[in-house]
Amino acid sequence: MKKNRKRIGVTIAVILLLVLIAIPITIHIATPKNDLSIGDVSENNISENNDEPGSAPASDEEKTDQTTDVEMNGQSIKIFAPDNEEIKEEEVLPVIENAAAVYEKTMFSQNGSRTEGTFHYYSLGEDRVYLYEQTEDLSEGPTLMLLSVPAGGVEQTENKAVSSNSNYMFSGISSGFGGKVSIDNQSTKPLSATITLPKISDLKLPSDINGTKAIPYIYSGFSGGRALNSYQYETDMGVLFNSYYQLWRPFMMVLGKKGDNSVMQVSQFVEGYDQASGPVKNINGYLPSDDKTTRTIDIEIYPKNTTGIGTEGSILLKMEGIAKYETAMGEEGEKPTKLTTVMETGTSATGQINTPYIYEINNYKLLCTLAYVSGNDIKGDEGGLYTVYSNIKVGGKTVPLSRMQLEQEHADFPEVKEGSVKIVIDRQADQIN
Q: What is the CATH number of the domain that holds 244?
A: 2.60.120.1270
Domain membership flag for residue 240 = yes
Q: What angle do CA 143, 219, 365 make, to 5 degrees?
A: 130
- pLDDT at position 395, please? 95
Share of the chain above pLDDT 90, in %: 36
Q: Is residue 71 part of a domain?
A: no
The helix (run of H) or strand (run of E) holding residue 220 is strand 215-223
Best mean pLDDT range from 67-71, 78-82, 230-234: 230-234
373: confidence class by pLDDT, cuts 50, 70, 90: low
Q: Taking every pair of C-alpha atoms in the chain, what is the biggest distance, in angstroms?
A: 67
Q: Which amino acid is at 285?
A: G
Q: Which residues contact 184 (CB under 8 A, 6 or more apart)?
A: 362, 363, 403, 405
Binning pLDDT at 50, 70 and 90, where does residue 420 land? very high
Nearest to 343 by CA among 370, 316, 310: 316
pLDDT at residue number 174 = 47
Residue 316 lies in a domain: no
Give the domain extent around 194: 2-12+161-267+291-300+345-431
* 28 vs 305: which has the higher pLDDT: 305
Residue 368 has pLDDT above 90, yes or no: yes
- Whether residue 153 has pLDDT greater than 60: no
Cβ neighbours of 88 (radius 10 Å)? 16
Residue 56 forms part of a structural domain: no
Query: Would residue 44 count as lying in a domain?
Result: no
Q: What is the mean pLDDT of residues 274-294?
A: 73
Tell me if 325 sits within 8 A of 284, measured CB to CB. Answer: yes
User: What's the chain's average pLDDT?
Assistant: 74
Section 253-282 average pLDDT: 60
pLDDT level of residue 284 (50, 70, 90 thresholds): confident
* Domain total in the chain: 1
Whether 170 maps to a domain, the answer reads: yes
Q: Which of 1-10, 129-138, 195-204 has the highest mean pLDDT?
A: 195-204
Give the C-alpha separation, 371 to 382, whole Å: 13
Is 75 part of a structural domain of the chain? Answer: no
* Rounded CA Rg of the chain: 21
Task: Tell me, yes or no, whether 329 lies in a domain.
Answer: no
pLDDT band at residue 47 under the 50/70/90 scheme = very low
